[in-house]
Structure 1
Amino acid sequence: MDLCTIIKGVSFLLQTGLGVLGNTAVLMAYVHVAFVEACMQPVDRILAHLAFSNLLQLLTRGVPQTMFIFGLHKLLDDWGCKVVIYAYRLSRGLSVCITGMLSFFQALTIAPSAGPHITKLKSHLSQLVVPIFVGLWVLNLMTSVTSLMFATAPQNSSVAAFTLNLGFCHVNFGDNLSYVSNGTIQTTRDFAFVAIMLLSSGYILILLQKHHKQVRSIRRAQQGTPMEIRAAKSVVMLVVLYTMFFGIDNAIWLYMLTVAQVPGMVADLRVFFTSCYAMLSPFLMISTNKKIKERMVCAAREQSSEESTEKPNTK
């Protein structure tokens, strides 16, 4: 195993391990919140769903990718590839859609109640979460269905034209029309939700600027509590993080659409940068979200107290 392969394998291993750990911690914190609070806030439910989609993304792509790099080549058969690639594309699509949903909900939460329509919409936010979740799942189940048709286990022969070589699996589109059509559908969906992110985040930044200049007048106008303002800043940071890796991801993807055979290294780079958001976002949530941080601190204190009480008994 050469040095380049070792570096690539260790990079994917660290990315997957840290991402799984971080997203699991966020999910466990929100499970505790769900038991303690009678009704979770819409933004909390969206963040929990985002952590779940990021966790699924890392498990269905980071784990097999790491195993393949370290020499386990015959991991999946045809149906295994179909299921794993389908789950990966579903979770990746959910990640961008839910981040867009998160930024829109947060912008609406801190928006001033300037009219009856805004006030009514804000009062129904908690009822809108589940229907929108269902709609996003249906959308991504449909846009990811090509994986069930075209994903196959790697063959001993050379890679055919218009095939995405993922290493542990191949996605053979067969012709240029299917290849470009699939890429266009995925890219259109992604750009639409990134546009929602940027517009919502731009509006949030405008409100934050006004909040910075006129804190007292904004509080009187009920344009958001200090907790909502902190949550808004956290959402903006998540959007900036996603947009940065989204730009790198789609630059590579546009290149992949222009060639008949995509080199394995190019596909690996795209997967790595795509998964960076899934790996880094939970740590951003932990560092900026008071609810998550409090649950993790409480868990650490309970474990420390249990260890201190057990020590005298072992002597």
Structure 2
Amino acid sequence: MDLCVTVKGVSFLLQTGMGILGNTVVLLAYAHIIFTKSKLLPVDMILCHLAFANLVLLLTRGVPQTMMVFGRTNLLNDPGCKVVIFSYRISRALSVCLTCMLSVFQAVTIAPGLSRLKSGLHCLVFPTFAGLWLLNSAIYFQTFFSALAPRNGTIPAFTLNVGFCLVDFKNSLNYLIKGVLVSGRDFSFVALMVASSGYILLLLHHHSRQVRAIRRSQGSGVETRAAKTVVTLVVLYVVFFGIENMIWIYMLTEAKMSPAVADMKVFFSSCYASLSPYFIMSSNKKVKAKVLCAFEQDQPASMDTQESRDK
């Protein structure tokens, strides 16, 4: 096997494997929290949903891409492509929407005043989830008609080839409409998350005394820690979103494109989904405590097993 192909395959394998593991651990940690405490804060509910969306993204994009790099072809038939492409697009859309939702909810949480809105945030979480699912399902509903398994021969015009599947837009009008809808949604949510994160930074920088007073009156510094976590997640997303779109713009300007450039775009588009769960585990005290608790419980069991073998 060519060295370049090997490096590419190992990179995708590590990214996908680590991402699936990390998001699964975050989901299991939140599942245990729900089982023992039966209630999550709005930010925790969003983080849990974000981990689920990122897990689906990696399963529907990272896994087929990795298998394709290692030479597996004809992975899916037409129905399989419709389900996988639709699931990938919905999960990718939810990743940006939920990160935006996270930053907006956190900005409202730490903002001075707005007591009525803060008290009602918990009730707004599930309706917002439902609205985001409906919005993105409406945008991508056409996928069930346009996604196809790869065909032999020339690929028709206005057809997106993702390697393991094709997405046929039929004509230039559909291609243009879909591109405008998706790009408009992505940039709108990114702009909103950047604006709300900027507002959070402004509050933390210029009103630190007031924020500390709020924390003391509530008995903890949860809000400030959560705000820093949210801002870092937003920065992480914006960085990889920017890199992905710069590669995409470059691809649009070139008549002949190297497959390596397209692979780079896919790789960077999945980086946020792979790295974000590890940041959540390291910065969210609830998730971190559950992970450490599980690790500490596993260690004595391993030591007891080793001691019994030694005897």
TM-score by length of 1: 0.92
Closer/same/farther in 2, CA of residues 246 and 53 from structure 1, 3 Å limit: same
Whether the 8 Å contact between 1:183 and 1:257 is mirrored in structure 2 is no
Alignment of 1:134-283 (within 5 A): 134-212=130-208, 217=213, 219=215, 225-256=220-251, 264-283=259-278
Q: Deviations over 1:69-116 (max 9, x none)?
A: 111111011111111011000000010000000000111111112xxx
SS at match of 1:202: helix
Whether the 8 Å contact between 2:108 and 2:118 is mirrored in structure 1 is yes
SS at match of 1:99: helix
Identity %: 56
Whether the 8 Å contact between 2:103 and 2:231 is mirrored in structure 1 is yes
SS at match of 2:163: coil
SS at match of 1:164: strand
- Quote the offset at 1:150 in angstroms: 1.6
Alignment of 1:1-315 (within 5 A): 1-113=1-113, 118-212=114-208, 217=213, 219=215, 225-256=220-251, 264-314=259-309, 315=311
Closer/same/farther in 2, CA of residues 219 and 303 from structure 1, 3 Å limit: closer
- Quote the offset at 1:160 in angstroms: 2.4
CA distance in 1, matches of 2:29, 2:98: 19
Q: Aligned partner of 1:95: which letter?
A: S
- Quote the offset at 1:217 in angstroms: 4.7
Closer/same/farther in 2, CA of residues 131 and 215 from structure 1, 3 Å limit: closer
- Quote the offset at 1:294 in angstroms: 0.5
Cα RMSD after superposing both structures:
2.1
Whether the 8 Å contact between 1:166 and 1:264 is mirrored in structure 2 is no
Q: Which structure 2 residue ranges, 5 or more long, are not aligned?
A: none
Judge which range, 145-154 or 10-19, deviates more: 145-154
CA distance in 2, matches of 1:74, 1:80: 11
Whether the 8 Å contact between 2:190 and 2:238 is mirrored in structure 1 is yes
Judge which range, 46-55 or 179-188, deviates more: 179-188
CA distance in 1, matches of 2:196, 2:219: 15
CA distance in 2, matches of 1:203, 1:225: 21
- Quote the offset at 1:155 in angstroms: 1.3
Aligned residue pairs, count: 310
SS at match of 2:229: helix
SS at match of 2:76: coil
